[in-house]
Amino acid sequence: MTRQIQLYYKNALSDIVTSEHGIRIDELTALSVRITEITADMDRQRKAGKLPYRDLPYQDKIVSNVKALTHKLAGKFDNLVVLGIGGSALGNIALQGALSRPTYNLQSERPGPRLFVLDNVDPVQLADILDLLADQLDRTLFNVISKSGQTSETASQFLIVCQLLREKLGQDKLADHIVATTDAKSGTLRGIVEKQRLTSLLVPDGVGGRFSVLSDVGLFSAAMCGIDIESLMAGARDMDERVKTGALTKNPAALYAVLQYLFYLKGKKLCVMMPYSYQLKDLADWFRQLWAESLGKSHDLSGQLVNVGPTPIKALGATDQHSQVQLYREGPNDKVFTFLAVENFDRDVTIGSAEGIPELKYLEKQKMSRLINSEKLGTEYALLQSQRPCLTIHFPRVSPYTVGQFIYLFEVATSYMGQLLNINTYDQPAVELGKHATFALMGDQNYRDLQRKIQPISQLDDSFLI
């Protein structure tokens, strides 16, 4: 049995779901030259230092630094609270969800502190978590993650936490309870680190938040919770070997991107990722940011207005069979499905006796692992009967090694997809306006012009309120 995750694409092809809804082999072949070119181009970019995310798994210093710090902090904390949002949170959540046990925070014995990732500014949620931690602050570590330190969500949480630590433990204890992950040299948070002599980790140079999980950003909380980050990086490196080739049918990242690109051109603009594994559900959220923020762009590289971008959708098997599959089978045929399937689950449960219940005899003494995998196949079969194209990423098991592969695979697939769409994969210009509008609405005097512009919509017009 292979230890590698694999992409299965037969059920996305025209032979299976008709040539109207599936991809023909000659459509794939027609793009193979382009893939060879893009691969060479990406290789040049990488050598010129323009794709630093590709090299993160090779930087031994990342792992050794993180491990040195977690070693130093071991046993000192019962709670770790990550303050971060977007790319500074989704990777942490995904690693914890996939690689720590589902009831981790509820267990009395754990390999590390409880983990809370605060990736919002909801006052009720925040107040409640602070209440929970109130009498354990001396055993609580905060990891604030922000490249600039100016992200308003993270900055506001950070100011709240600093005030709390000062009040409850004293200014001199601040540095014992904060690890700041930020830019190496500049920015608001870096300035605070220097002034307050905080322990710090690095947001790597030139790596956008959504590509940063395999750096200090994602690895510190994982290592604190006992996750094997070396295997994670080994998985990413081994995937790198597989996605370096310019041969389309040998490169799962390129092939995944080409399939999605062709589906996009056919009008299937919704990409449903549906793990049949509770552990993998948060990886679908991580993918959702990676795919949406990288590929949703108004202009292409030649400056043409294109308003392009597939919409990633997270679903969960088997749960969403009872929520979304009716639509998926009978609604518009505008979706491509990517299942995540697990061959060997780390735990299993045997279904009990069905004595006296003949309708349920077929379940008796069977394994839950067989049931969930049968549900996946049953749903796929039903979708194929309705000519809905299906891809599957097969995990031999869920482990740091396979999760590392998955992350790297989808990062590189995103790069390919961006090149195929001819857009800038690595920027996010449209996010700025909302940020500035928030500054304006919070009364920041540097944004007075914007305050005036927002004024008309900030007052509700009663004639349209019912």
Residues numbered 297-336 forming contacts with a copy of itself, rule: CB under 8 A: 297-298, 307-309, 311, 313-314, 316, 318-319, 321-335
Which residue has 């025209």 as its token pair?
A: 14
Q: Does residue 68 bind a copy of itself (CB under 8 A)?
A: no
Q: Which of residues 194-233 bind a copy of itself (CB under 8 A)?
A: 195, 209
Q: Is 48 exposed, middle or buried (0-12, 13-18, 19+ CB in 10 A)?
A: exposed
Size of the site for a copy of itself (CB under 8 A): 158
The region of 61-69, 216-224, 288-296, 412-420 touching a copy of itself under the rule CB under 8 A is 288-296
User: Which of 49, 111, 206, 429 is close enough to bind a copy of itself by CB under 8 A?
Assistant: 429
Indicate if the alpha-carbon torsion angle 160, 162, 164, 166 is positive or negative: negative
Q: Does residue 346 bind a copy of itself (CB under 8 A)?
A: yes
Q: x-or-dash pattern for a copy of itself, window 103-132, by CB under 8 A?
A: x-xxx-----------xxxxxxxxxxxxxx
Tokens of 415: 């790069």
Say if residues 244 and 58 touch (Cβ distance below 8 Å).
no
Q: Does residue 174 bind a copy of itself (CB under 8 A)?
A: no
CB of residue 105 to a copy of itself, shortest distance in Å: 7
Which strands, in side-by-side order, build the sheet including 199-202?
114-118, 79-83, 140-145, 178-182, 199-202
Q: Does residue 234 bind a copy of itself (CB under 8 A)?
A: no
- What is the rounded distance in angstroms from the CA atom of residue 296 to the CA atom of residue 430? 10
Q: Is 273 exposed, middle or buried (0-12, 13-18, 19+ CB in 10 A)?
A: buried
Question: Helix, strand, or coil here: 317?
Answer: coil
Of 293, 297, 335, 411, the active-site residue reads 293
CB of residue 162 to a copy of itself, shortest distance in Å: 6
Q: Which is nearer to a copy of itself, 63 or 207 (CB)?
A: 207
CB of residue 357 to a copy of itself, shortest distance in Å: 6
Q: Does residue 160 bind a copy of itself (CB under 8 A)?
A: yes
- Phi–psi pair at 194, nearest 5 degrees: -65, -45
User: Which of 66, 162, 198, 259 is close enough to bind a copy of itself by CB under 8 A?
Assistant: 162
Q: From the CB of residue 144, how many other CB atoms can be counted at a distance below 10 Å?
A: 27
The region of 34-42, 64-72, 187-195, 213-221 touching a copy of itself under the rule CB under 8 A is 187-195
Residues 6+ apart with CB under 8 A from 163: none
Known catalytic residue at 269: no
Known catalytic residue at 299: no
What are the residue ranges of helices labelled H in 248-367? 252-265, 281-295, 325-330
Known catalytic residue at 322: yes
Q: Does residue 458 bind a copy of itself (CB under 8 A)?
A: yes
Tokens of 226: 């006992």
Please tell me what DSSP assigns to residue 323.
Answer: T
Say if residues 236 and 242 touch (Cβ distance below 8 Å).
no
Q: Does residue 386 bind a copy of itself (CB under 8 A)?
A: yes
Q: Does residue 19 bind a copy of itself (CB under 8 A)?
A: no
Q: Which is nearer to a copy of itself, 64 or 350 (CB)?
A: 350
Question: Helix, strand, or coil here: 226?
Answer: coil
CB of residue 276 to a copy of itself, shortest distance in Å: 8
Q: Which residues are part of the catalytic machinery?
A: 293, 322, 435
